[in-house]
Amino acid sequence: MPEQPGPEKPNQPGPYAGPPPTPPTPPTPPTPPSHPAGQPHQPPQPHPAPRYPGPPPGPVGPQSTPPTHQAPRRPAAGSPPPGGKAFGFFVGLVSALALVTVIGFIVFGALAPSGGGLGMGGHVGLVRAQGMISAETTGGMFGSVGVAPEPFLDELETALSSPACEAVVIRIDSPGGTAAASEEIYRGMLRLKQDYPGKPLIVSMGDVAASGGYYMACAADYIFANSATATGSIGVRSSFLSIEDLITEHGVEATSITSGEYKAMGSMYKDMTEDERAIFKHQVMLIYDDFVSAVAEGRGLPKADVRQVADGRVWLGGDAIDHGLIDEIGGLQEAVEHAGSQVGLSDPEVYDYSLMSLPFGSFLEASSEAMLRGGERYLMERGAAGGVKPFRLQMSGGPLGE
């Protein structure tokens, strides 16, 4: 049957078919040139960007103003960073000190006579031995403390090898030290005397030159000491500490595992046996005999006479001269004058060879000393200083001169 038309239904939306097609845009005809014919075409000028007019006005009030956050300021180009001024000042100061040091050595070297090495022509060299005697000195950048064989003998050889140094004074201010280091210095001084004959070695004792300090003095040709100088103390000492009873009282036990019977002798954790005591006594007497022999050889005394005064006691200068342990009562100035008289120098100049061996921290002292000495010699050679007396070094114990 043919379909019968039903009642008319309201319009209902159907499925979305997309936007209607856009009709094609007709081509835009070319714009005729706006400039007159026959004139060149000028390119269009760019329009300036519009200026920002600022934020729109708003109500004025403390709550309407947003908080402002300022960015950290950057240093201007070429300006030093924070702390740069202090660092620059430090660098400049170090550079200035180095420059002063270099100039001092240059001036000193230029004014020194030819062949004088580090000295100033014919002079008496000064070498110091101050402090405890041991294998190595202690200290740091700004100085060292004590007397060690290697640096001391190096300073002494530097003085003796200088063509301008005609005699050497050794200033001893030492209470002694280790036996081996004292003996090494003594034998080293004897060797240098043989290597550089004709240059006297004179010892000047300060406050104290005892034990190892006197041991090394015996290698000198002549010895000066003050009346109150403590010297002598010819002897050897070996000390030990025992805490066996103390640790036993508190219930502490110490155990040593050794490879031999005497490996732990001298240990503080046990008392010394008679056999161990006899061994140490034998060693002490061997060193003592070497000490007595050195005194007898250096002072030209019989060993029997040396043993009478070599009981370990300290002798003052007045008694020491009576026993033949020193030659003359006098200080450093007297020792310098005596050294000069042995080589024909009247009122001799003094050059401190120990000063030049000090580390970097003492370069300023050395450079200023060099400039003062060189400058005075420069004036004296030209007669500008008149009757200026020869320069005298300032010592740690007082001036050499007047």
Domain of 359, CATH number, reads 3.90.226.10
- For 106, the enclosing helix (H) or strand (E) is helix 84-111
Residues 285 and 325 in one domain: no
Same structural domain, 269 and 225: no
Same domain, 215 and 321: yes
| Stated pTM of the model | 0.62
Query: For residue 328, which of 221, 222, 214, 200 has the smallest C-alpha distance?
Result: 222
Instruction: Give domain status of residue 131, yes or no.
Output: yes
How much is the pLDDT for 106? 47
Contacts for 357 with CB less than 8 Å, ≥ 6 apart: 151, 154, 155, 158
CA distances for 374 relative to 113, 207, 242, angstroms:
10, 32, 59
Helical axes 84-111 vs 363-381, angle rounded to 10° = 40
Which of 337, 341, 343, 342 is closest to 392 using CA atoms? 337
For tokens 């009709």, what's the residue?
23
CB 105 within 8 A of CB 370: yes
Q: Is 247 part of a structural domain of the chain?
A: yes
**What gap in Å lies between CA 298 and CA 72, rounded to an integer?**
80
- Whether residue 191 is found in the same domain as residue 306: no
In the numeric block, which tokens belong to residue 365? 């002292």
373 part of a folded domain: yes
pLDDT value for 92: 76
Assess whether 319 and 308 both reside in one domain.
Answer: no
59: amino acid identity, one letter: P
The total of structural domains in the chain comes to 2
pLDDT profile of the chain (402 residues), mean per 10: 51 57 63 54 57 56 54 58 62 75 53 42 91 80 76 95 95 96 97 95 97 97 97 94 90 90 90 94 96 96 96 95 96 96 92 69 50 53 48 38 35
Read off the tokens for 258: 């050794």
Tell me which residue range forms the domain holding 282. 234-254+263-312
* 347 in a structural domain: yes
| Residue 42 resides in a domain | no
Residues 380 and 277 in one domain: no
189 within domain boundaries: yes
Both 228 and 250 in a single domain? no
Look at residue 57 and tell me if it is in a domain. Answer: no
Last residue of a domain, one of 295, 312, 329: 312
Q: How far apart are CA 221 and CA 203, in angstroms?
A: 8
- 145 contacts 173 by C-beta, under 8 angstroms: no
**Are 289 and 356 in the same domain?**
no
53 within some domain: no
If asked whether residues 112 and 195 sit together in one domain, one would say yes
Residues 212 and 291 both lie in one domain: no
Q: Which long-range contacts (CB under 8 A, 24 or more apart) does 299-307 make?
A: 299/218, 299/324, 299/325, 300/324, 306/234
- Position 97 scores a pLDDT of 77
Angle between helices 274-299 and 179-195 (to 10 degrees): 20
Q: Which residues are catalytic?
A: 211, 263
Verify that 187 and 275 share a domain, yes or no: no
Same domain? 376 vs 244 = no
